[in-house]
Every structure is written in structure tokens, then in C-alpha cells.
């Protein structure tokens, strides 16, 4: 018996949720502040600073309606709707500052200690020093409306034009601008070291070079682009958040993978090892680990004896943080704690893990599970195994007479059979009375 199962590609890690050890509130937009989360509560009108490890939180008042929220150092900036101002809070002291601007802020970014604010009504993008607070940089450019219309990475400012057909790259040192058309309906942009990624209303994601040429193109599921947000990881993966479809997606090479969360996504932010998200409808805060789960590429079962098997699994992890591989044995015939058993498989080189098992019942179902440091898992196919029955064959021993002896016995028997009627006839006539003849006178 040799059974082999070849299995599929890496998947995106499954979402997890924080235990609700903190007082309930309605989580909206959020940002990452060190090991803590800064969350806007639109119901109470406050900013909540939450420690995910302990559940400890503190907060301060803030407007109920904001368009965007951004972190820079120990400062958080809020863009209130219809106020033509920017609110800046010191997260350590709770001190608040207010900066009047020539129009409403629709998008916020941060880079190199500055907040960058897009004011489409005035065709301006301004750089703001939070400590002053003052406008220290002004760029006249007509950006589109929406919280994902600008992105700053390094010395490049990326802007979706007001017509949503054009993408502009501005060199923040020289002021030089380069523009290119990407088609209609650009709705989100994110800069990175090699260029930028753009999402369109046609549910496409485009990868642009620094020269604004389209290098790659991916098609997403329908309605993915509604309020979509984009992130680019250092390893080149593209993460997208589709609030309307309740999904977090990952693009890597030609592969697109998604996981569904428990409700419509309100806010999202990325940290070093996970993507955080909020669900206002459920009141939950969750995350998707950026460490991808492991993969079991091959699973083999080989019979060694009537009730023993050698099991091998080829397990790999794209992030190199594979923790262990377990073999699970499930006995349907047993009820109770003995029904499920596990054995740790031993590494044997070339990503192979092996174990030898002996069945305790007639039949069992076995499979392997690989775990990484984030407890992401991958499971092999299930294989049915059974104890091999040994059949005992019984034989009857017969004694054979020599051929000559058989012939003699047959001849004697036949002669006796012929003689019997003769003997009976003789016996009959011997016993029969004789008739006397009458004498004639």
C-alpha cells in the first residue's frame, strides 16, 4: 500500500479577533501607534487608545464625523467633515491643536515627520508640521476626492488626478511632475519603492513603475473596488481591503488569495506583522497575520506490516517560520478521549517529516497538520487505513494407493460380484424338493 496526495498553494492567513476584555465601543477608522491601536469611535465621538495585549484603553473627545485619520510619531491627525480644519492630538499628553486650512481635507498621509493633506476644492496638497502646527509645503495639484487619492513614499508624492483617469508622481525635492493616463475610474493609490499600485472602479489593480508604465495588471472579483484600500509589503506582496465584500486579499505574482471576515470593514491599518481591521456593525477589532500559513505539498502513507505504517509529509513555509508538523490518528470505533491521537513528526531533511505508527483498532483516518509561529495551519488530505487481515488456508491430506494395488482390488471385487448369482442359483436348486415318477403297472 502506497498512497500519495499532492496538495495546493499557500493561502492567506485566517482572520482572528481580539478578546473583548475592554469596555465596548463602536470601532471606526484606526491607525497603529507602536504596539497600540488608535481607534475612532463615531458613536461616542472619541479617540480610543487601546492596548491589544491587556485590553487597557484610554481616550479623549473627538468629532463624530471624520473623513480620515493618520499617525505621525506621537501625533494623530483627524480630518473632520465640512470643517476646513485639521485637528492634531498628542497621544501621550492628550493635548489638542487645531489648524485652519483653505478647504476641507479629504485624504491624509504621513511621511518624514509631516502630515500631508489633500484639499481638492482648492487643488492643493499641503505638508504640515504637527508640532507648530503650520503648513510648511504647498503643492498645487488637482487631486481626486476620497481618502485614498494620495500616497507618499520616500521623496515621491503619488496623486490620483481629479478626472480619475490620470496618475501623477511629484518629486518632493525637485518639484518635478510626471503624469500618465491609466484609464477611467482610479479610486485608490499606494506608493512603494519601485513605483505605485492603483485600484480602479473596473475592479482592477495596476502596478506602475516609477516611469508610470503599467508593469502588471490583476482582475479582482466584482465590487471589490468600492472603498478599497491598498498596501504594499516589503516582500512585494500587495494587500487589499474590500469593505463592501468583507474580504482581505493578497496578490503575489499571478496568485490572488482572499479571506472573508465577519462583517463590513470600516477601518484598516497595517503593522509589522499583521493587518488590523474594524467592523463597526459587529463592534469587533480583528487582524490578519501577514505571516502566510505553511503548506503541505505531499502526503504519503506506506504499509510496513499488517498494522504498521510509515507516514511522510513534505511541509514548507514561505516565511521560514514553520514550527512543527503533527500526525493525527482518528479512530471511529472508539468513543472518548482515545478517539483522537496525535504524534509529532520528525524532520528527516529536504522539508520531509516522518512518523511510524501502529494501529490500535481495525480502521483509522490519518492526516498531517503543519503549524507556524503564528499558529497558522495547513492540513493534508485525510487517508483511510486498516489492519490487513491474514487468511489461514487449511489442506486435507489424502493417502494414495499404488496404481497396481488399485487394479488388483478392482479385479477381485469384480470376480466376486460375478460369482454371487451362481452361488445363489446352486443353493436354490439344492434345496428344491425332487418329484417322484409313478411306476407303470
Q: What is the pLDDT of residues 304-349, one digit of tens each?
A: 999 999 999 999 998 888 999 999 999 988 888 888 999 999 999 9
Q: What is the pLDDT of residues 88-105, one digit of tens each?
A: 999 998 899 999 999 999
Residue 86 DSSP label: E
CA 387 to chain centre: 35
Q: How far apart are CA 57 and CA 269, in angstroms?
A: 18
- The CATH homologous superfamily of the domain defined by 12-289: YVTN repeat-like/Quinoprotein amine dehydrogenase (2.130.10.10)
CATH, domain 295-386, list 2.40.240.10, 1.10.10.60, 2.60.40.10, 3.40.50.10260? 2.60.40.10
Q: How far apart are CA 350 and CA 23, in angstroms?
A: 49
Contacts 24+ apart (CB under 8 A), 372-376: 372/291, 372/293, 372/294, 372/317, 372/319, 372/321, 372/322, 372/323, 373/291, 373/321, 373/323, 374/13, 374/273, 374/289, 374/291, 374/321, 376/13, 376/14, 376/289, 376/291, 376/292, 376/293, 376/294
What band does 425 get if pLDDT is binned at 50, 70 and 90?
low
Q: How far apart are CA 74 and CA 49, in angstroms?
A: 12
Domain ranges, ordered by start, for the chain: 12-289, 295-386
What band does 390 get if pLDDT is binned at 50, 70 and 90?
low
Q: How far apart are CA 55 and CA 303, in angstroms?
A: 51
Question: Contact, 76 vs 60, CB < 8 A?
Answer: no
What band does 24 get if pLDDT is binned at 50, 70 and 90?
confident
Q: How far apart are CA 45 and CA 315, in angstroms?
A: 49
**CA distances from residue 215 to 4, 211, 212, 229, 323 in whole angstroms, order as listed:** 39, 10, 9, 20, 36
The pLDDT of 53-81, averaged and rounded, is 95
The contacts of residue 46 (CB under 8 Å, 6+ apart) are 25, 40, 59, 60, 61, 62
The pLDDT of 64-75, averaged and rounded, is 96
CA 4 to chain centre: 23
pTM as predicted: 0.76
**Residues above pLDDT 90, as percent of the chain:** 75
pLDDT of residue 393: 54
Q: What is the pLDDT of residues 244-254, one digit of tens each?
A: 999 999 999 99
Amino acid at each position: 500500500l502506497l498512497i500519495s496526495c499532492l496538495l495546493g498553494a499557500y493561502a492567506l492567513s485566517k482572520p482572528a479577533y481580539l478578546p473583548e476584555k475592554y469596555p465596548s465601543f463602536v470601532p471606526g477608522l484606526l491607525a497603529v501607534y507602536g504596539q497600540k491601536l488608535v481607534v475612532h469611535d463615531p458613536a461616542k465621538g472619541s479617540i480610543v487608545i487601546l492596548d491589544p495585549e491587556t485590553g487597557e484603553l484610554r481616550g479623549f473627545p473627538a468629532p463624530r464625523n471624520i473623513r480620515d485619520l493618520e499617525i505621525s510619531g506621537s501625533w494623530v491627525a483627524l480630518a473632520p467633515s465640512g470643517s476646513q480644519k485639521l485637528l492634531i492630538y498628542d497621544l501621550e499628553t492628550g493635548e489638542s491643536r487645531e489648524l485652519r486650512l483653505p478647504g476641507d481635507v479629504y485624504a491624509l498621509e504621513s511621511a518624514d515627520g509631516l502630515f500631508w493633506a489633500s484639499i481638492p476644492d482648492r487643488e492643493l496638497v499641503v505638508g504640515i508640521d504637527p508640532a507648530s502646527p503650520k503648513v510648511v509645503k504647498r503643492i498645487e495639484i488637482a487631486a481626486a476626492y476620497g481618502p485614498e487619492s494620495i500616497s507618499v513614499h520616500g521623496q515621491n508624492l503619488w496623486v490620483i488626478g481629479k478626472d480619475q483617469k490620470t496618475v501623477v508622481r511629484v518629486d518632493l525635492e525637485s518639484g518635478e511632475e510626471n503624469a500618465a493616463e491609466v484609464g477611467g475610474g482610479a479610486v485608490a493609490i499606494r506608493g512603494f519603492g519601485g513605483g505605485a499600485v492603483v485600484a480602479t472602479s473596473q475592479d482592477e489593480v495596476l502596478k506602475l513603475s516609477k516611469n508610470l508604465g503599467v508593469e502588471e495588471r490583476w482582475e479582482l472579483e466584482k465590487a471589490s473596488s468600492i472603498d478599497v484600500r491598498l498596501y504594499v509589503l516589503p516582500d512585494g506582496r500587495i494587500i487589499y481591503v474590500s469593505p463592501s465584500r468583507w474580504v482581505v486579499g493578497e496578490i503575489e505574482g499571478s496568485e490572488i488569495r482572499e479571506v472573508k471576515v465577519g462583517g463590513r470593514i470600516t477601518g484598516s491599518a497595517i503593522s509589522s506583522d499583521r493587518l488590523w481591521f474594524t467592523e463597526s456593525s459587529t463592534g469587533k477589532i480583528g487582524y490578519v497575520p501577514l505571516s502566510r500559513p505553511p503548506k503541505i505539498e505531499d502526503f504519503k502513507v506506506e504499509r510496513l506490516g499488517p498494522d504498521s505504517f510509515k507516514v511522510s509529509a513534505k511541509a514548507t513555509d514561505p516565511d521560514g517560520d514553520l514550527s512543527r508538523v503533527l500526525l493525527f490518528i482518528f479512530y471511529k470505533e472508539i468513543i472518548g478521549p482515545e478517539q483522537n491521537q496525535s504524534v509529532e513528526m520528525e524532520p528527516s531533511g529536504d522539508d520531509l517529516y516522518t512518523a511510524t505508527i501502529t494501529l490500535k483498532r481495525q480502521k483509522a483516518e490519518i492526516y498531517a497538520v503543519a503549524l507556524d509561529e503564528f499558529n497558522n495551519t495547513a492540513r493534508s488530505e485525510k487517508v483511510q487505513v486498516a489492519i490487513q487481515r491474514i487468511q489461514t488456508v487449511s489442506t486435507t491430506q489424502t493417502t494414495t494407493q499404488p496404481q497396481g494395488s488399485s487394479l488388483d482390488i478392482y479385479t477381485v471385487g469384480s470376480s466376486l460380484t460375478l460369482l454371487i448369482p451362481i452361488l445363489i442359483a446352486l443353493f436354490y436348486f439344492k434345496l428344491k424338493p425332487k418329484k417322484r415318477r409313478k411306476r407303470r403297472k
